[in-house]
Amino acid sequence: MPVRISSMSAIEILDSRGRPTLRVQATLADGRSVRSGVPSGASTGSREAVELRDHDEKRYSGLGVQQAAANVNGPIAEALTGRLFASLDQVDDTLRELDGTADKSRLGANAIVGASMAAAQGFALESGHPLWRWLTPDGVTPRLPVPHFNVVNGGVHAPNALDFQEFMIAPIGAPSLPEAVRAGAEVYGRLRAVLAERGFATGLGDEGGFAPEIALPEEVLALLVHAISDAGYTPGRDGVAIALDPAASEFHRDGRYVVGGESLSSEDMIDRYAQMIDEFPIWSIEDGLGETDSEGWQKLTGRLGERVQLVGDDNFVTNPDVIASAVRAGIGNAALIKVNQVGTVSETLEALRVCRESGYAAMISHRSGETDDTFIADLAVGSGCGQLKSGAPARGERVAKYNRLLEIAASAPEHPFGLPATHG
Ligand code: PGA
Ligand code: ZN
């Protein structure tokens, strides 16, 4: 159903790190309104669409987004309002042409993605279907995804000595979404107690996971297994499994990987992961190697691709063309999907299509800087990919997404939960 937007505007709001970001609001011809909150990453891939920041050091240390807001209020609103759009593709094409750069740096990927997400919701509203339903492509079965709860934070998301960025628990074996959420919250609660018993601080990192002063990833993994068992669950794919996002680009320097003070080659790093997989119930590793280490990624995929999911984030940047060439090169077997990384909803849906058609898995993801916007929960269900990561089962901006999943599960209980049969 075509959509006519009668007004669109943006204001500067705060994200979960207390940094400025955008809230975009749009009004449809019939007076109903929709809005979006724009997320922002900290460990970004070098080829991501570019956020526009003001660089005025007197405001928010240069991080203000007044210019991006002005771009929504000015040229973007002018291009999108009053016209009848037949499809979201048409809206997003208009945004891309208006920007005119390959990386969306002129108007700002933050301005563009906020407008695109608001427009997508406008189309959903007009269709009379919930957003997740509107986002479901023909021939795809909506699925309630396995939530991947990031319960220990390191890397650039926490001030501790831990080099690996994310340690997630994934209740793959849960019988339903509500039971998966419950498992995540119960293990998180147990983990807090386990850390406290051992004298570790239980302060939180940017995504709501604990940020204990531990340097070795294996030590964290042992604590996770302990907390999973202690909470009454089976560690592993039949119960609660573990997913890692080392975000290795951040500790990849001069061709070496520095983990816990040790300098490792790509091969050493791959050996290290192989040992971890032998010892701990890890089912997925994202950004196990740096974004520039393509040769290493090919070796990693050859060695471990049959045993675990290998997710490309920094190296794939949700870009359909980049993912397609990674498929040809035999790099990874899954893609992380972040709407603001590529900058429009249409291109995100295209990236998901490339994954489906290539037999690659996909995991929908939040950013470390978030708002209360729950768009990605609907996207996770509609895409049918079966996986969502949105941080810890704590902190408002993280639980907003999990709570949205619980709402969808309650309203559409007929939909399957969990990983699609083709992977896992
Ligand atoms: P970011 O990290 O949002 O800080 O970029 C998330 C990730 O690396 O997956
Ligand atoms: Zn990542």
Q: Which two tokens stand for residue 214?
A: 């531990």
Residue 313 · residue 287 · CB < 8 Å: yes
What is the DSSP code string of 233-244?
Answer: --BSTTSBEEEE
| pLDDT (tens digit per residue) in 379-414 | 999 999 999 999 999 999 999 999 999 999 999 989
Ligand 1 atom nearest residue 286's Cα: 9
Reduced to 3 states (helix: H, G, I; strand: E, B; else coil), residue 349 is helix
CA distance 252 to 274: 19
What average pLDDT does the chain have? 98
Q: How confident is the model at residue 14 (pLDDT cuts 50, 70, 90)?
A: very high
CA distance 184 to 112: 34
Residues 6+ apart with CB under 8 A from 220: 152, 162, 164, 167, 212, 214
Question: In what order do the strands lie in the sheet containing 252-253?
Answer: 252-253, 256-259, 262-264
Q: Which helix (H) or strand (E) holds 275?
A: helix 266-279
Which of 48, 286, 338, 350 does the annotation list as catalytic?
Answer: 338
From the CA of 287, how far away is ligand 2's center (Å)? 6
Residue ranges around ligand 1 (CB below 6 Å): 41-44, 245, 247, 313, 336, 365, 367-368
CA distance 281 to 211: 21
What is the DSSP code string of 75-140?
Answer: IIHHHHBTSEES-HHHHHHHHHHHH-SSS-TTT-HHHHHHHHHHHHHHHHHHHTS-HHHHTPPTT-
Active site residue 338: yes
What does DSSP say about strands 84-85 and 3-14: parallel, antiparallel, or unpaired? antiparallel
Q: How confident is the model at residue 424 (pLDDT cuts 50, 70, 90)?
A: very low
Active site residue 97: no
Ligand 1 atom nearest residue 314's Cα: 8
Give ∠ CA 242-415-327 in degrees, rounded to 5: 55
Mean pLDDT of 310-328: 98
Residues with CB under 5 A from ligand 2 (ion): 245, 247, 286-287, 313
Helix, strand, coil abundance in the chain, percent, nearest 5: 40, 20, 40
From the CA of 391, how far away is ligand 2's center (Å)? 12
CA distance 252 to 303: 20
State residue 257's pLDDT score.
98
| pLDDT (tens digit per residue) in 93-143 | 999 999 999 999 999 999 999 999 999 999 999 999 999 999 999 999 999
Is a pLDDT exceeding 90 seen at residue 423?
A: no
CA distance 422 to 309: 12
State residue 422's pLDDT score.
72
Mean pLDDT of 201-216: 97
